[in-house]
Amino acid sequence: MNFPFFNHLIPIPLDPIFKLAALFATDPRDHKIDLSIGLYRDRRLSTSILNSVKRAEEMLLSSEVTKEYLPIEGNATFIHQVGKLVFGEEEWLQEQERTCGIQTPGSTGALAVGGRMLIEEGGKNAVVSQPTWPNHPHIFTHCGMKVGFYPYYDMDTASLSFDKSYKFFETLSEGTIVVLQPCCHNPTGMNWQRHEWELCLSLFQSKKLFPFFDFAYQGFGVNLERDAEVIRLWARSGIEMMVVCSQAKNFGLYSERPGALFVLTRSQKVKIAILSKLQAIGRALYSSPPSHGAAIVAQILSTPSLREIWQRELEKMSFRMRQLRKELFQKLDLKRWKQKNLPSLKEGEGMFWLSGLQSEEVERLRGEFAIYITDKGRINIAGLSSENIPRVIEALMVVVS
């Protein structure tokens, strides 16, 4: 080994989305518009703290008596309440015998813990959708897995490639880990239909593939219940699977990093063994998860009056994004718009629209119009407003003409 120890190192490029955020922050133009990073913004384009969160924090501040470490598995009330939110109250009571859950530092932490456990138990290969959230392949590669991609969205036809996805899954070997997004797919906003999920479930069972759900946007699509339909359908089947969920988005708690990992097993005996394994991995990675964000979520979900306020706020966020999609679609000059991805703008759910813009068009948006979107053309719908949509449309028309 050569010394000095680090002399051979060269800088790793900054994550593209965080690089964009840094560029946006230093852009001196007053009229700049940020449509890149996946943050929900209100009509004032502010990521404000929810009223339900503020009230929960006031309650916690008045009752909090310690800053002790949480257990490795995290806040028990948080896990219980989020379990009910994800799986349904009745289903959660039934599934608890075979389901273990731990609190993690965000859904990224949950993906990393789940990935490490799977590779330690022989899960060598993972596949993610093409396209997907850029961090998916990074996380599973760092866990030591070989990561591939399954066809998901056809940019030429601006439509989902379910038949190609299904045929690809048929070729996978037993034990392959398949990362799935049950709603508000990032970056396309497009999701399979229920009958397609049912077909996949049967195939996964017969091929013995392992489903790993990334459930980051519950409530941002149709509603809390509909967005969780796929998770609950697969859970009822008895299949073994993992579910990662984030409460950063739907509670607006981005900096607090509340996340959870649930593992559905075959029996209570297996559940106990898996929980001990997750605790060991969590201990090695971060020892114990952060307390405050999970406490806020637990307080809101276990207090009926706060939960009612939160659900109204979440419905308002979801409604706003649907209206922004509709407004942008209606105001685009469809005859002049050369891109092919308009169906996903109209039919998609959640925060994101994959616009189909090419890299040179993305650069022109940023350089000439101070409009920031990701290099792959993903637009954060929540960064739009009735005030800035006309300028965004004008810029789009220019760069594609």
H-helix or E-strand spanning residue 211 = strand 210-215
CA distance 152 to 192: 10
CA distance 342 to 355: 7
Task: Compute how many other C-beta atoms are within 10 angstroms of the C-beta atom of residue 17.
Answer: 17
Cite the active site residues: 133, 214, 249
Quick check: helix, strand or coil at residue 180?
A: strand
Distances (CA, A) of 350 to 1, 47, 153, 383: 50, 16, 16, 12
- Helices 389-400 and 304-331: crossing angle in degrees, nearest 10, is 40
Quick check: helix, strand or coil at residue 264?
A: strand
317: number of CA atoms within 13 Å, CB side?
32
Closest residue by Cα to residue 328 from 35, 58, 121: 35
* Contact predicate 50/251, CB 8 Å: yes
Quick check: helix, strand or coil at residue 46?
A: coil
CA 136 to chain centre: 10
The CA-CA-CA angle for residues 41, 47, 52, to 5°, reads: 110
Which residues make Cβ contacts (< 8 Å) with residue 223, sequence separation at least 6?
315, 318
CA distance 268 to 284: 25
Q: Which residues make beta-bridge pairs with 354?
A: 378
CA distance 335 to 6: 56
